[in-house]
Amino acid sequence: MRTDEGWLLAMDLSGAGLVVLEGPGGLWHRSFEAAKGASLLFTTVKEVLGEAGIGPDQLSVLGVGRGPGSFTGVRTAVMGAKTLAEVLRIPLVAPDSLAIIASGAASRGHVFVAVDARRREVYHALFRLDGEGEGELPRLVEGPSVSPPEAAARRIRYWMRDLEGDLVLAGNGIRVYGDLWPRGPARRDTDLPDPRALAGLCRKLFERGVTEDHLYLRPLYLRQPDVGGRRGGGG
């Protein structure tokens, strides 16, 4: 098993698909439509490895966003990462997909993440970040939960009474339900996790020894899939 600091391959399909390769030579990433995740995931992995000029046997760490998010996307990413971890015999880390968005939205203060879950609901969580470069992970203050956006907006207004420091609202749910959220905080609207945030959070988990047994890793589902497993349904 390779546990030295080397090449990291990470993926997240909780929303739009993202594959990131980070290591001594830099950072490469590719994105693709979430609905095509199952067919494009391994093709995209092969492409980014080829761009960096390395083979799968040179990977040292795997990372995967465990959800919540698209039921099909999260399941595809987790199963793909588990398969690679089994074949390559390398460590696997699995951050919360909402924490990945929070890591890319700010370096300090609080970040409230809201992601469109369809069915007029959002996945949401509140995090505190204590600064980049200190090896700190986003600290979960509340959540993750799934609820109507009106209920999520009431929760963040409740927390705003006592929060110290800056507050950022992040995730595509902030755009989709834009009129519901408080007007004061800065907004970071994105449909795709920041590639450096995904790689950085996976690195921090690995450095802290927060790895997963790939045989037992399960996606983070907050509700049942849409009836009939329709594409785009939340997980």
pLDDT single digits (tens) 167-214: 999 999 999 999 999 999 999 988 889 999 999 999 999 999 999 999
7-96+193-229 and 106-188 share one fold? yes
Q: Which residues of 121-131 are buried (b: 16+ CB within 10 A; e: fewer)?
A: bbbbbbbbbee
- Spatial contact of 124 and 112, defined as CB atoms under 8 Å apart: yes
The domain made up of 106-188 is a member of CATH 3.30.360.10: no
SS3 for 89? coil
From the candidate CATH numbers 3.30.565.10, 3.30.460.10, 3.40.50.1980, 3.30.420.40, the one assigned to the domain spanning 7-96+193-229: 3.30.420.40
pLDDT at position 197: 96
| Distance of alpha carbon 77 from alpha carbon 63, whole angstroms | 10
The encoded tokens of residue 171 equal 């995730």
Q: How far lies 54's CA from each of 32, 86, 196, 223, in Å?
A: 22, 19, 19, 39
pLDDT cut 70: percent of the chain above it: 89
pLDDT at position 172: 95
pLDDT at position 232: 40
On the 0-12 / 13-18 / 19+ scale of CB atoms within 10 A, 155 is middle
| Distance of alpha carbon 77 from alpha carbon 81, whole angstroms | 6
The arithmetic mean of pLDDT across residues 74-78, rounded, is: 94
| Distance of alpha carbon 148 from alpha carbon 121, whole angstroms | 4
On the 0-12 / 13-18 / 19+ scale of CB atoms within 10 A, 26 is exposed
Tell me the domain boundaries of the chain. 7-96+193-229, 106-188
| Distance of alpha carbon 139 from alpha carbon 112, whole angstroms | 12
| Distance of alpha carbon 235 from alpha carbon 225, whole angstroms | 6
The encoded tokens of residue 44 equal 């995209």
